[in-house]
Structure 1
């Protein structure tokens, strides 16, 4: 075991002259990991708050929230709401800017949302609707919100 420790020390010296090369990877891993973990918690909390705000807005507009954070084997839908004969699958995005939030819904995620919605429709055959649509609510750091209706079309 001592030999392997000596080999590591040799590898950490520069040209065998005894000058240790700073092991920057080890030194930065913990703070970087902790920073990512902390920023992940903040993003999660902000995302939940944006979903809450979206549900509140929908209810103020006469929508009934049927499900929140609906998980299926195909993906998750943030909010499922209905109003009259419209069933709406809602995706909520919170980013630093509205523009960042708008471009964050990539085609692969759109496909996952569509497939997750199919699973939910099979699981809830008693939902009555004449129209299905996907809406996107986006939020930025200053609290602005924008809503885009009917963002995903199956072709």
Structure 2
């Protein structure tokens, strides 16, 4: 997807994922948090844990996961470091989640992803 259609599909996917986290009793701390080093799609908290969420949308879940490049992973790490440095009250217990959204709108959340 490119241009306006891709942008709106991405926003719709992020909104659907945000609703999934809210229905699982998470609080949303930020949506599309942007710092100097990058953007974090969603930041959620529950039970003292902060979850940094990178939403990936594609035709299939497998293709969506493959879209998470090493460059994006580095950008996300940089953005998270910046967020944590600015939010010293943030709990030290953190994880990365990568929810994927397929063409039908089905959401699968990969929890506690370790980037390479």
TM-score range relative to shorter protein: over 0.9
Q: Deviations over 1:106-144 (max 9, x none)?
A: 1221111011001001111122x2411100011111122
Runs of 4+ in 1 over 3 A off after TM superposition: none
Q: 2:103 aligns with which of 141, 144, 152?
A: 141
Q: Which runs of 5+ in 1 are unaligned?
A: 1-35
How many residues align structurally? 116
Using the size of structure 2 for normalisation, the TM-score is 0.93
Larger % of helix: which? 1
- After superposition, give the CA deviation of every residue in 1:46-89 in whole Å (9 maximum; x if it has no partner): 11011111111101101000001011111100000100121010
Aligned-residue offset at 1:152? 2.6
**SS at 2:4's partner residue?**
helix
Structure 2 unmatched ranges of 5 or more: none
TM-score, normalising length from structure 1?
Answer: 0.71
SS at match of 1:136: strand
- Per the TM alignment, residue 90 of structure 1 is displaced from its structure 2 partner at its CA by 0.2
Cα RMSD for the two superposed structures? 1.5
Q: Which has the higher contact order (CA 8 A, sep 6+)?
A: 2
Rg (Cα) greater in structure: 1
CA distance in 2, matches of 1:40, 1:99: 22
Structure 2 residue aligned with 1:101: 64
